[in-house]
Structure 1
């Protein structure tokens, strides 16, 4: 993966972060819910329950937002350099980790930290440390 620093746009990154924060705050204020993707998807997969409508709307919004963005700007090209089995294994590990961690990076990192949750601080530190270690191991120890 190569980062094109000449095309880095801090204004759009800031705007995107502000929109994520605003959406999270509005969901908490009007619905009393945390905008953690694993909890939202998990609530749908657990079966019929109250609140399935807002959960589906949230997920549809996540899927439609890039399409709307594409109307106004060019989407960056995405290259995935891993095999399909590696991606499946990574997805399963992330899913298992979110169950053990009682939430995902969006729930703990965005919503939990903004609520000054000590549990979310520890979870976010562990998420980041695990990511750093994984990249180091894959890039340096397994690189041929």
Structure 2
């Protein structure tokens, strides 16, 4: 049920952003242009990023969070983050821009990008679990 509510909220917020501001909710584009955008275009970007940072903190105040332990080493996490950032630039957008906004607009480019993201992710998980760990 929480996933359904989360998905509905993502869809609704995406609809509001495109309807009221004419902007796509592509996180990499919003953050990437945060400092280079015109001053008149910066306020909504800061508000969007602030919402991304504040919302989980507010949620944690009212809902007990499960204990979490990250078993992956710091070098793996850093390498993964760098690869995601590189892939985002290479793919001209991220999963939110292509997967949520682009697919809802029936963009062929976004369909190809989303399929590439998903297939690459599945391949990497398989390689890490079955090839690298098996050694």
TM-score (norm 2): 0.93
Aligned residue for 2:17? 27
Q: Where do 5+ consecutive residues of structure 1 fail to align?
A: 1-10
Aligned residue for 1:43? 33
Aligned residue for 1:135? 125
Whole-Å separation in 1 of the counterparts to 2:73 and 2:39: 37
Q: Where do 5+ consecutive residues of structure 2 fail to align?
A: none
- Given the alignment of the two structures, is residue 70 of structure 1 paired with residue 89 of structure 2, yes or no? no
Q: CA shift at 1:49, angstroms? A: 4.3
The one-character-per-residue Cα deviations of 1:63-105 (angstroms, maximum 9, x if unpaired) are: 1111121233112333222221211111111111111111000
Q: Point out 4+ residue stretches in structure 1 off by more than 3 angstroms.
A: 45-50
- Given the alignment of the two structures, is residue 12 of structure 1 paired with residue 5 of structure 2, yes or no? no
For the aligned residue pairs, the C-alpha RMSD in angstroms reads 1.4
The one-character-per-residue Cα deviations of 1:33-64 (angstroms, maximum 9, x if unpaired) are: 10011000001143654311111111110111
Q: CA shift at 1:21, angstroms? A: 0.4
TM-score (norm 1): 0.87
